[in-house]
Structure 1
Amino acid sequence: MESLIIPILILAIVGASVLLMARALGRRGAHARPGSAAPQPERDPVELARAAAAKLSQEQHRRLYALIAQGQAMAAIKLYFDSTGEGLRASRDAVGALAAHPQPFRPAASQQAPGDEEDDTPQRFPYRYRAIASKGDVTREVSSNMLNDEIYGRIRTLAKSGDAEAAATALTRHSDISMKQAREFIALLDD
């Protein structure tokens, strides 16, 4: 048994020195690589999808979504890469955001700053959106083809930030309910 102690100690010392050497080389390699020091902050995927869609022509937009629908992610990334001239990683991220958060095509002339669309007539969508709010045993529902996730999200944000009157006004603007019904609905969103 005593004859095994010395070889085990030598093996442990060699193992520890190999680990220390590997760690030192790994640190040196990480400092030598440019751009590896600080990871880039993540962008909001919805904003990334909007920005990516704005860079495409109507034909490119149609072709890109056709490829996404067919499950041809690599072809979609290549199309975006060729169409915009962005890098491969940026193209991959943009196509991923466009797939996760589909964006309608908007011609460059009709691009609006956020908040400007409140000044125009509400857009009618080809589907009816159902918004449901409840508190306790009270439930209210608003169904409208002038609502979508984005508009309803803005209305909820207004309500949760304490601007219930602006939220009720926006809700009446994007639906066919009265101001009284809108206030009742918004009151259920307020927490």
Structure 2
Amino acid sequence: MESLVVPVLILLAVVALVMVAYRAARNRRASHGTAPSAQPAAPQELAQAAANRLSEDQHRRIYALIAQGQAMAAIKLYYEVTGEGLRASRDAVGALAAHPQPYRSQEQAQVVEEDDDEPQRFPYRYRAIASKGDVTREVSSNMLNDEIYGRIRTLARSGDTEAAANALTRHSDISLKQAREFIALLDD
């Protein structure tokens, strides 16, 4: 009987170590799943944030690699220049490929963000017209221009119709209901 005590104790120790290792691995996976950074950003926002981390030369080189179909080389370059993790670099390059971003210096990026908060009034009236079948809607405003209307159309076509309607009401004198009707004609 004494000859079985030592192997049984060793077996119990091994089982205990396996259970501790299993729990540690499960806790580590659970903590990564609930971390705030684990929630994926919208692809357009991810692409914009990724483009903002790049210099003009880095931006040009990464898009050249994407255009040549060399995604792995683009991921490697992004990984090297930003110092982000490999998975984050893969996601960023994928977002950049799916949602191309023009290069903007830091000052230009700040100016664009400021434009969204306070609509600027232009010396001319801009007319935007949308129609589908027999239904036609028109928005006329001196707070719209091609760039702002282009952003509104992009939001509508990407499926974010509520943000597009809110942007349209911010840059015109129409109600949210009227903006939603107008956006509904754009989302095709």
1:125-148 deviations in Å (ceiling 9; x for gaps): xxxxx97344x6223478x74356
Contact 1:132–1:141 (Cα < 8 Å) also in 2? yes
Shift of 1:48: 1.1
Q: Which amino acid aligns with 2:29?
A: S
**Aligned counterpart for 1:37 among listed residues 30, 43, 53:** 30
3-state DSSP class of the match of 1:112? helix
Contact 2:165–2:179 (Cα < 8 Å) also in 1? no
Partner of 1:59: 57
- Tell me which protein shows more helix as a share of its residues: 2
3-state DSSP class of the match of 1:36? helix
Contact 1:168–1:186 (Cα < 8 Å) also in 2? no
The CA distance in 2 between the partners of 1:94 and 1:164, in whole Å, is 29
Q: Which amino acid aligns with 2:102?
A: P
TM-score (norm 1): 0.57
The answer as to 2:80 corresponding to 1:82 is yes
Partner of 1:168: 172
Unaligned runs of 5+ in 2: 1-17, 123-127, 140-144
3-state DSSP class of the match of 1:150? helix
Query: What do you get for the CA RMSD once the two structures are aligned?
Result: 4.1
Number of corresponding residues? 145
The CA distance in 2 between the partners of 1:78 and 1:101, in whole Å, is 19
Q: Which amino acid aligns with 1:43?
A: A
Runs ≥4 in structure 1, deviation > 6 angstroms? Answer: none
**Aligned counterpart for 1:189 among listed residues 169, 182, 185:** 182
- Within-5 A mapping of 1:137-148: 137-140=134-137, 145-147=146-148
Partner of 2:67: 69
The CA distance in 2 between the partners of 1:141 and 1:103, in whole Å, is 29
3-state DSSP class of the match of 2:130? strand
3-state DSSP class of the match of 1:67? helix
1:80–1:121 CA distance, 2 compared to 1 (3 A): farther
Contact 1:31–1:37 (Cα < 8 Å) also in 2? no
TM-score (norm 2): 0.58
Shift of 1:55: 0.6
1:85–1:132 CA distance, 2 compared to 1 (3 A): same
Which structure: larger Rg?
1
The CA distance in 1 between the partners of 2:169 and 2:49, in whole Å, is 31
Shift of 1:151: 3.2
1:165–1:86 CA distance, 2 compared to 1 (3 A): closer
Contact 1:76–1:95 (Cα < 8 Å) also in 2? yes
Unaligned runs of 5+ in 1: 1-24, 123-129, 170-178, 180-184
